[in-house]
Amino acid sequence: MGYEQIGFNFQTGTKLVAGVDEVGRGPLAGPVVAAAVILDPARPIEGLADSKKLSEKRREVLAEVIRERALAWALGRAEVEEIDRLNILQASLLAMQRAVAALQPQAEFALVDGNRCPRLNCPAEAVIKGDERVAVISAASIIAKVSRDREMVELDQHYPGYGLARHKGYPTKAHIESLQKLGVTEIHRRTFGPVRKVHEGS
């Protein structure tokens, strides 16, 4: 049974089906941000795709359309302290859980990108590569990516010199070099290898 078909049936049925995705598992800095979206079958959106495969400009445009046309959308997040305390997988699941809980109206079913689901107040199914295969998950990936990227651009103003607006906290060569030069900030994840090395002075 194809998930494309499942997504089609859900959107034309009576269930309120949420797509759920997160962004920010790999970066050395900043939160992990999740989004949950319930699309409106009466207001279809063309061009939904995995956020990583869209240009920044296209993501921005689609994010505005999704916010305008969706029946509901919400964000959830896990902060750096939670990532370091829980581990990145558990923090990602927590962010997704928070996003789904914030939906109004509440979802009756959730399709979650990846291979495992957070604990939710509705039935859910994990979909491998769901952000590429299911429109409502693609919508969630776009909302999450645009929201987190904007936040990292803002954090760049507060933590100059690290290049956060460019690499969004990911472990680029330039980011690691700036960490070694400027040191670890409160928005860096101390349990992540490159940050831990600098923090411990090794």
Asked whether residue 168 is domain-assigned, the answer is: no
Q: What percent of the chain has pLDDT over 90?
A: 91
pLDDT band at 48 (very low <50, low <70, confident <90, very high): very high
pLDDT in tens, 175-188: 999 999 999 999 99
Residue corresponding to tokens 């079913």: 109
pLDDT higher for 110 or 5? 110
Checking if the pLDDT of 137 tops 50, the result is yes
Element (H, E) at 24: none
For 90-141, the DSSP string reads: HHHHHHHHHHHHT-SSPPSEEEEESS-----SS-EEEETTHHHH-HHHHHHH
Q: Residue 84 is part of which domain span?
A: 3-148
Element (H, E) at 62: helix 56-69
Question: Which residue in 31, 34, 30 sits closest to 22, CA to CA?
Answer: 34
Asked whether residue 200 is domain-assigned, the answer is: no
Q: If you average pLDDT over residues 10-28, what whole number do you get?
A: 83
Q: Give exposure, 92-112, as e/b (b: 16+ Cβ within 10 Å).
A: bbbbbbbbbebbeeebbbbbb
pLDDT band at 202 (very low <50, low <70, confident <90, very high): low
pLDDT of residue 3: 44
Q: If you average pLDDT over residues 30-49, what whole number do you get?
A: 96
pLDDT in tens, 86-111: 999 999 999 999 999 999 999 999 99
pLDDT of residue 15: 79
Asked whether residue 173 is domain-assigned, the answer is: no
Asked whether residue 9 is domain-assigned, the answer is: yes
For the chain, how many structural domains are there in total?
1
pTM of the predicted protein model = 0.92
Instruction: Assign residue 84 the CATH number of its domain.
Output: 3.30.420.10
Checking if the pLDDT of 162 tops 70, the result is yes
Asked whether residue 156 is domain-assigned, the answer is: no
pLDDT of residue 12: 41
Distance CA 78, CA 144 (A): 13
Checking if the pLDDT of 1 tops 70, the result is no
